[in-house]
Amino acid sequence: MTHAQIDSTVSHPLAMPMLGTGTFRLKDQAAVDAVLMALEEGSRHIDTAQIYGNEAAVGEAIKASSVPRDELFITTKVWTENLAANRFEASVIDSLTALQTQYVDLLLIHWPLKDEHVPMADYLLSLKTMLNKGFTRRIGVSNFTNAQLSQAIEILGEGVIFTNQVEVHPYLVNTKVTKFCKQHNILVTGYMPFAYGAVLQDELITQIAKKHGVTTAQTILAWLRQQGFATIPSSTKRENIRSNLATAKLMLSAAEIEAITGLDRNHRVANPDFAPHWD
């Protein structure tokens, strides 16, 4: 099953736009404004999560935009505290209520549990139940290592996990995980594409950007896209949102992609104390 061939029980599912709009750290009216701006500029893929505390704001922005629901691709993620069977479904229903939608297009496990006080088989089967009930059109994971992905594939079977959302940017290429995902036809969704701005100042990327007459941000987004990765940058500035969306026209050479990949220095931005033992 390829990424374009989703569960046949879903009628004409919307393909996931490879460039999405992230909402991490956006709260209240700032989240409403950022999502509304993104939708006005043409973004149709919105990424949120239970732990972000902004699902209601995202829902408000979507409603205010008047963009038809069937033109949108909405992702949310189940937080670790809701992985137990007695909380999982209720938390998803709460998310749908906040988002003002009957379903999401993609539902993810936000982080794997380090101590497995809820066994992975239990929460992944709960995730699959959400798919079966129509609360989501696709399911996936986030921040899973290769060992955890292998375990997840054993539990759910090949072709069920749509994406693994992991940190990917020029300073953290995450090659072992991205190669494993490709081997199993799991789409890589790279978050933190700018590493909190660290890579935007890189000299090599700046030189490549100047050569093409584009921004460093556009260069990085093209680098991700041309490797087949989805990504979900966030911004509160309309000009940046517009610029990000314009990257679809930018094509880097193979040599430029290789040069940017060579900047890898295992610089990980998202590394909480509950994170798994990374590959």
Give the residue numbers marked as catalytic. Answer: 52
Contact 175, 228 (CB under 8 A): no
Contact 170, 184 (CB under 8 A): no
224 Cβ contact list (under 8 Å, min separation 6): 168, 190, 193, 230, 231
> Which tokens sit at 266?
């295992």
Contact 116, 124 (CB under 8 A): no
C-alpha 190/C-alpha 187 separation (Å) is: 10
Residue 226 φ then ψ, to 5°: -70, -15
C-alpha 111/C-alpha 276 separation (Å) is: 8
